[in-house]
Every structure is written in structure tokens, then in C-alpha cells.
Amino acid sequence: MSSEIFVNIFEDGLFAAIAAIGFSSISNTPRRAYAVCAVIAAVGHAVRYVLMAPDIAGMHIVMASTAAAMAVGVLGVLLAPLIKCPAEVCLFPALLPMIPGMYAYRTVQALISCMLHTGEAAFDRYLSLFAQNGLTCTFIMLGMVLGANIPVFALKKISFQATR
């Protein structure tokens, strides 16, 4: 593996950390949790990047996002007692940078194009794009929800210690 891949992983994690701090600041997260949210987001996004990299694992974005969300969930549960906050305080800002915005945008764009084009071939093409992007977006979100919540429920004893 070249050093370029490590730079790309670091950049991916860094930008996710910056986004997580921004999301933390607008969602009334305690300031003591900002660093933890940033670290969790960086690790989660880096995990997804590594799993999706064709040279390394080459996973589909749905499975990679689910695995990364599970990593975020585990880290959130384990680090929440350090900042004396519920795990969800760390989870949600850390997951937001992984929201599939481009797939959602392309879904809406294809839907609008579908409505505007009356030719059967163009309509079929845009309907196919709508279905493909919409399903991908939906399954990424579903995978992220399941991946982040499984550790919260599986590690229930640790998860609820943070708020006692």
C-alpha cells in the first residue's frame, strides 16, 4: 500500500471530524463532548473509507456504512462514560457526516427529470436512476441506524452507566 492511501484516510477522517464538531455545535451538545464526537466521526468515516477502497476491501457503500456505523456505536458507548453523557450525544453528530447526501440529491433530481420527460426511453432511464439512488440512499440510512443502535442495545449495561 502506498503512503497516498494513508493520507486519503487521514483527510477523510479529518473532514468528518470537522463536520461532527459543526453538527455537535448546532445540536446543543455539551462542549466537553466535542472532541469525543470528532474522534468517533473520524474513526467511523475512516472505517467506511477503508472498507470501500477498491485496493483494500472493495465493499459496497451500504455494507461499509453499516460496519462503520457499528464502529461508531461501539466507540460511542465505550467513550460516553468519559464525558458523562449518554452515548447518543456522541453517536448522532458522528453519524451525520456519513449521511448519503449525494444519493438523496440524485434521487430527487431523477424524480424531477422523470416528471419533466415525456418520452418513454427518457422516462424509463430517469425512473431507473430514481429507483437505484433512492434504494441505495434508503439502505445506507437503514444500515446506519441498525449499525449504530445494535451496540447501544448489546452493551446496555455500559451504555446506561454514563447517565447514572
Q: Does some domain include residue 106?
A: no
Between CA 88 and CA 149 the distance in angstroms is 9
Q: Does some domain include residue 107?
A: no
pLDDT tens readout for residues 61-86: 999 999 999 999 999 988 888 888 88
Q: Is 20 exposed, middle or buried (0-12, 13-18, 19+ CB in 10 A)?
A: buried
Q: Which domain holds residue 59?
A: 3-99+142-161
Q: Does some domain include residue 110?
A: no
Q: Does some domain include residue 124?
A: no
Q: Does some domain include residue 116?
A: no
Q: Does some domain include residue 66?
A: yes
- Of 8, 5, 11, 33, residue with least CA distance to 20: 33
Q: Contact at 8 Å (CB) between 63 and 143?
A: yes
pLDDT tens readout for residues 2-49: 788 889 889 989 999 999 998 888 888 888 889 999 999 999 999 999
The confidence score (pLDDT) of residue 155 equals 80
Q: Does some domain include residue 109?
A: no
Give the predicted TM-score (pTM) of the model. Answer: 0.85
Q: Does some domain include residue 19?
A: yes
Could you tell me the three cell numbers for 98? 456519513
What total of structural domains would you count in the chain? 1
